[in-house]
Structure 1
Amino acid sequence: MNRTEREAGFADYVAARRPKLYRTAYLVCGDPHEAEDLVQTALAKLYVAWPRVVATGQPDAYVRRVIVNAHLDEIRRPHRRRERSTRDELLDGPAGDPERPEDTDELWQALRALAPGQRVVVVLRHYWGLSVNETAETLGLSPGTVKSQTSCALERLRAALDQHHLTTRG
């Protein structure tokens, strides 16, 4: 693959997939600025590995994994935990199309209340539509862990949404 073909293929991929990659990063981290950083990190790594990744036929899987790993690395840093608690108080919800079900305030608040690992599993399984095995491979977890994390996360989401409906209707 010559440089012109490489750059054209990469540019086509980015043009087609960037909105979904941004949305994934945003759903995972909850911050538009951090989501941009995650996508830029992922795309920079993808560009370097482009010929190898294209050969596997799995560029989405590669980029998803980079986004998730970069986010998990970021939240493990002690200074980020302090910043996040202050920033979370200032965020009023996602910027997006309010007609989309994942953009409703109550769903967004419930999703944000999940543990980071549970949130990532929900995003990969239900936003990307990955199978249990694909999610496990992306995250480097066992399929059983993915199943249990998904089950716990969905239970917490249901409880939070049921509680919201009880308080707004009753």
Structure 2
Amino acid sequence: MGVEQLLLVGLVMALGLVGVLVPGVPGRWLVWAAMLWWALHELSALAWTLLVAATALLLVDQVVVWLLPSRRIRGTGISPRVAACAGLGAVAGFIVLPVAGAIPGFIGGIYATERHRLGGHGPAMASTRAVMRGAGTSLLVELFACLLVVGAWLGAVIWG
């Protein structure tokens, strides 16, 4: 697989990560489709193993998201800015502290946005809890699974 195709697969995965944060966009399936595309062109044992693992992880993720309370984004006050900051925080946390850093990064992104908007610690904490109860948990679960798939793919491309 050439550099151009690898960049295109990476771009589709990045769009999938953004799609997780945008209601109505099938972010997890964009990530999976990019992984499938890569595996079909790579044709190695590592590629097929990652595709099977990604498929299993994203299917389990789908079930977990269904079992969580429904995503009520409109009623919780989640603005596109909050979702974007939460997503950026999760990605930054995932990079700084691989895998586990996505969770505090996601919550920290929500808190920082709400602290800036509301001006104090108490109201920001209350708003962060409300966002996480309303839709943040399902968003975090879906984003975390997609970050794991993208991270595994990136590791395979760099070190595999």
Higher relative contact order (CA 8 A, sep 6+): 2
Structure 2 length as normaliser, TM-score?
0.34
Structure 1 length as normaliser, TM-score?
0.32
